[in-house]
Structure 1
Amino acid sequence: MIDITTENFESDVIVASQTTPVLVDFWAPWCGPCKQLMPVLEKLETEYAGRFTLAKINVDDEQQIAGMFGVRSVPTVVLMVNGQPVDGFAGAQPEGQIRALLDKHLPAPEEVAAQQDEDEAQAALQAGDTDTALEKLQHAVATDPANDDARFDYVKLLLELDRLDDAKVAFAPVIAKAASVQRLGSLQQWMDAQDASASGEDIAALDARIATNKRDFEARFARSQRLMAARQWTDAMDELLEILMRDKAWNEGQARKTYIAILDIIEPPAVAVAEGQIPPEDPTVASYRRRLSSVILS
């Protein structure tokens, strides 16, 4: 539970509710119903175990904030999500009705647990502890199988550790979504590149074909796949740009789709950006996004 004043309102209510819902209790020391309601809200905050944060605002001391929310009586309770009020009530309400309001808007327990695992995994990766990161991501996927972000990070880490077979097993439950969910499709492209690189011509043979015919797009694409498999991302995108500069629509836009897949793969994790661990835009990603736009729009 947090006591809110004008000094911390922005950080502890508006900003904080972007990641964890905040239940704001407007109360007053002279209000009898407020004193009845507050222990109920505190109990629910404990039981919901991190799914929301309880914030108290004394309307006598913080009349400006109360006026912003149009509070006319106390207790008044407002649920903030993503910086905006989404629900609330006035007067002391039964615990069951408050639970119904919370359950309507709050993330499910498994979603919260999976997000915590993801956060810890990213912290472990920043510290160079891939074993812990892999364990946390595996647990996140097991806890919340519908969490595509956690699965993306899990499969991506397996591929970075050269565990292709394990990555395919972890990816199998969502393989049908790869065509409609871009980031999952990007992982599929990376696995396809690794499979293609396990057979067929090597880089030297492909280079010889390209030297003979600059428009041998199949050779250029195969070369980009070899580079993807070796995690030589910028070289792979450079090769794909060579195709795009000559034929933007080649093979139903395959070069463009693969280029975008690489950008998805090398994009910094959103959670790491949000926590300030990584700058909001990686310079390499930004540069290659601009190059793609320049070629596509030319």
Structure 2
Amino acid sequence: MINVTAANFETEVIQASMTTFVLVDFWAPWCGPCKVIGPMLEKLETEYAGRFKLVKIDSDQEQQLSQAFGIRSIPTCVLLHNGQPVDGFMGALPEGEIKAFLDKHLPAVEELESIEEEAEALDALAEGDVEGALAKLQLAVETDGENDDARFDLVKLLLQLDRDDDAKVAFAPVIAKSLAVRRLDSLNRWMQARDAQATVVNPEARAAELQAAITANKRDFEARYNLASMLWANNQFVPAMDELLEILMRDKSWNDELARKTYIAILDVIDPPKPKVAEGQVPPEDPTVATYRRRLSSVVLS
């Protein structure tokens, strides 16, 4: 529990709420109900073990903050996240009702643990510890099967390690969801391209055949798309997008916009995980991804 004033409000409340829920307890020393609910909130903060942060504001001493939140009576509690009020309640509610209020908004323990494992995995990957990252991502998905970001990173890493069978097993629980979630659909398209490539008996001869067909007819979109798929399957992402751009420059709508959809899928696959930033800020974008997004926009909008 932290006592907040105007001097530390920005740090202890607004900035803190960017990474966790913050419960603000507006109270005063003379307020009887405040003396009842205060210890209860402190107990719950300990019990919830990091799922929210409790801060207290003396309404008499910090009248400007009280006015900013429109406090009309005390005790009043306001829950903030991402710098904004989410919900609140007035009065010394029973412990059970406060728990119900918190549980309505706070992430579950499993979700928090999964997010933490995912973050540690990305740190390990940045440090070159591939096996450590793989173990962390697997644990993140096991802890919270609804963590699609962790599952995306897990399947992507398995594919990069040429462990396609393991990737399919990890992806299986979200196959149906992939029809509605673009990033998951992009992974599915990559796996399908890899499966198709695995059936090619002589990849070098096939690539030469496709290149010859393109040289003879630059509008042989079927050959150009098949070449792009081969390149994508072999992790040659930039050359694959270059081939798809050639199709888009000549016929944007070819084959129900297959070239555009595949191009976007490749961008999704190669786009590295973004670091978490404060609301309103834009995370840095990978230079290759940024360049090829601009090229796609230039072609599609021309």
TM bucket by the smaller chain? over 0.9
Q: Which of 242, 255, 260 lines up with 2:259 in the alignment?
A: 255
**Pairwise mapping of residues 1-298 of structure 1 onto structure 2 (< 5 A)?**
1-200=1-200, 201=203, 202-270=206-274, 272-274=275-277, 280-298=284-302
- In structure 1, how many angstroms separate the alpha carbons of the residues matched to 2:12 and 2:216? 63
**Which segment drifts farther, 197-206 or 223-232?**
197-206
Per-residue deviation, 1:232 = 1.9
For residues 78-97 of structure 1, give each alpha carbon's deviation from its aligned partner in whole angstroms, at most 9, with x where no partner exists. 11123222221222211011
In percent, how many aligned pairs have the same letter? Answer: 66
Q: Which moved more, 1:41-50 or 1:238-247?
A: 41-50
Cα distance, 1:273 vs structure 2? 4.4
On the 8 A contact 1:273/1:280 being kept in 2, the answer is: no
1:29-68, Cα deviation, whole Å (9 max, x unpaired): 3333222212211111122122211122222332211110
Distance 2:157 2:74 in 1: 51
Name structure 2 gaps, 5 residues minimum. Answer: none
CA RMSD after TM alignment: 1.8
3-state secondary structure, aligned to 2:218: coil
Partners of 2:25 and 2:99 in 1: CA distance: 15
Q: Which amino acid aligns with 1:191?
A: M
1:88-147 alpha-carbon deviations (Å, 9 max, x no partner): 122221101101111111112221111111111111112211212111111111111122
Displacement, 1:242?
0.5
Inter-partner Cα distance in structure 2 for 1:279 and 1:88:
31
Distance 1:139 1:115 in 2: 10
Distance 1:2 1:133, change over 3 A: farther
Aligned length: 295
TM-score, normalising length from structure 1? 0.93
Rounded to whole Å, the distance in 2 between the matches of 1:11 and 1:216 is 60
TM-score scaled by length of structure 2:
0.92
Q: Distance in 2 between matches of 1:238 and 1:46?
A: 55
State the 4+ residue runs in structure 1 displaced beyond 4 angstroms.
none
Distance (Å, rounded) in 2 between the aligned partners of 1:187 and 1:8: 45
